[in-house]
Amino acid sequence: MKRLLLASVAAVMLVPGGGVRAADLAVKAPPPPPPPPAFSWTGFYVGGNVGGGWATVPITNTFTGNEGTGGNGSFIGGGQVGFNWQFSPWGVFGGEFFIDAVSNNNNNSITFLGLNGNTFQASASPNWIATATGRLGVTGPAWDHWLLYVKGGGGWINTDAALTNLNTGGSVSVSNTRDGWVFGVGIEYAFAPNWTAKVEWQYLGLNDFNVGPGVVGESFAVQNASINTLTFGLNYLFSWGGYQAPPPVVSRY
C-alpha cells in the first residue's frame, strides 16, 4: 500500500502542470533605488557677467538753481565672487562682491544757462561699478535647483566728470569714486552639479557731490544720481554639501 501511494505522488509530480512550481512561490520585489540627493547651494562661487547699465544724473547750478538731468545706457561686463550657506530646505544666506567695467562711449552730457547768460556743458563718463552685498534667497525641495533672492548693501562708481563754460572756454574736470547704497533682485538656476546661471537687476543710489567753481566761476551739485544694471551671469559653485534633506522612509517587507 505504501509503495502504491508513493508511486501515485511521483506520477503527479511528473505530469506537466502538476505539483508546485517555482513560479508559484512568492518572490520578494527588490527595494526601489534611493532618490538622488537634494541639490545644495552651500559653497563658494566665482563667475562672470555681461549686461547694461543706465545712469540718471541730475545736476543743479547752486548759484542760479537751474537744473538739468543727464542719462545714458552703456554696456557693462565683469565678474563676481561670493559664498552661499543653505541653512534649511527653503533658505539660503550669503554675500557677494561684484565689479563691472563700463563702456564709456556714451557720456552723460547736458547744457544749461548759468550766471550772466553763460552756457555751461556738464558731462560724466563712468569707468567702473562695484557692489558689496548680502543675499537672502528662497529655494525648496520640489525645485531645489532654483534660487530666488534679494540683495542689499553698499556700492561705488568711478566717474570722470567735466564742466565747461562754453562762452569763455574755461573748464574744470574731476575723477572720483562715489559711494552709495544698493538693492537688487535675481533668479539663479543650477543647470549642472557645479554650474549656475542667473539674471539680476541692481539699483545703486549715489551720495551727492559738487563740481566747481574753479575757472568756470560757478558751482554745480550732483544730487540723487543713480544707476540701474541688468546683467546675465554664469557661476561655478565649489559645493560644500551643506544642508541635505533627510532621505524618505522606505517600507520593507
**How many CB atoms are closer than 10 A to CB 22?**
6
Q: Look at residue 18 and give its three-state secondary structure.
A: coil
- Which range of 36-40, 71-75, 102-106, 145-149 scores highest in mean pLDDT? It is 145-149
Q: Which CATH class is domain 59-67+84-241?
A: mainly beta
**Joined grid coordinates for residue 62:** 547752486
- Please check whether residue 201 is in contact with residue 185, taking contact to mean a CB–CB distance below 8 angstroms: yes
Classify burial at 110, counting beta carbons within 10 Å of its beta carbon; exposed 0-12, middle 13-18, buried 19 or more: middle
Q: What beta strand segments (E) does the chain contain?
A: 43-61, 67-86, 91-102, 108-113, 119-138, 146-165, 171-192, 195-206, 209-211, 220-222, 226-239
Q: Which triple of cell numbers denotes residue 146?
A: 532654483
Domain positions in the chain: 59-67+84-241
Q: How far apart are CA 171 and CA 216, in angstroms?
A: 6
pLDDT 10s digits, 225-248:
899 999 999 999 998 765 444 444
CB under 8 Å to 223, separation ≥6 — which residues?
A: 58, 60, 208
pLDDT of residue 175: 82
pLDDT tens-digit map of 101-146: 998 665 567 777 777 778 888 777 889 999 999 999 999 999 999 9
**155 vs 161, more confident:** 155
Q: Exposure string (b/e) for 32-65, b if CB count within 10 Å is 16 or more?
A: eeeeeebbbbbbebebebebbbebbbbbbbeeee
* pLDDT on residue 105: 61
Burial class (CB in 10 A: 0-12, 13-18, 19+), 222: buried
Which pLDDT belongs to residue 160?
A: 83
**What value does the mean pLDDT take over residues 181-198?**
96
Q: What grid cell was written down for 167?
A: 562762452
Tell me how far apart the terminal alpha carbons of the chain are, to the nearest angstrom.
Answer: 45
- Please tell me what DSSP assigns to residue 170: -
Mean pLDDT of 93-102: 97
State the pLDDT confidence band at 250, using cuts at 50, 70 and 90. Answer: very low
Q: Which residues pair with 135 in a beta bridge?
A: 94, 151
All three cell numbers of 170:
574755461
**For position 25, what pLDDT does the model report?**
52
What was the pLDDT predicted at 212? 65
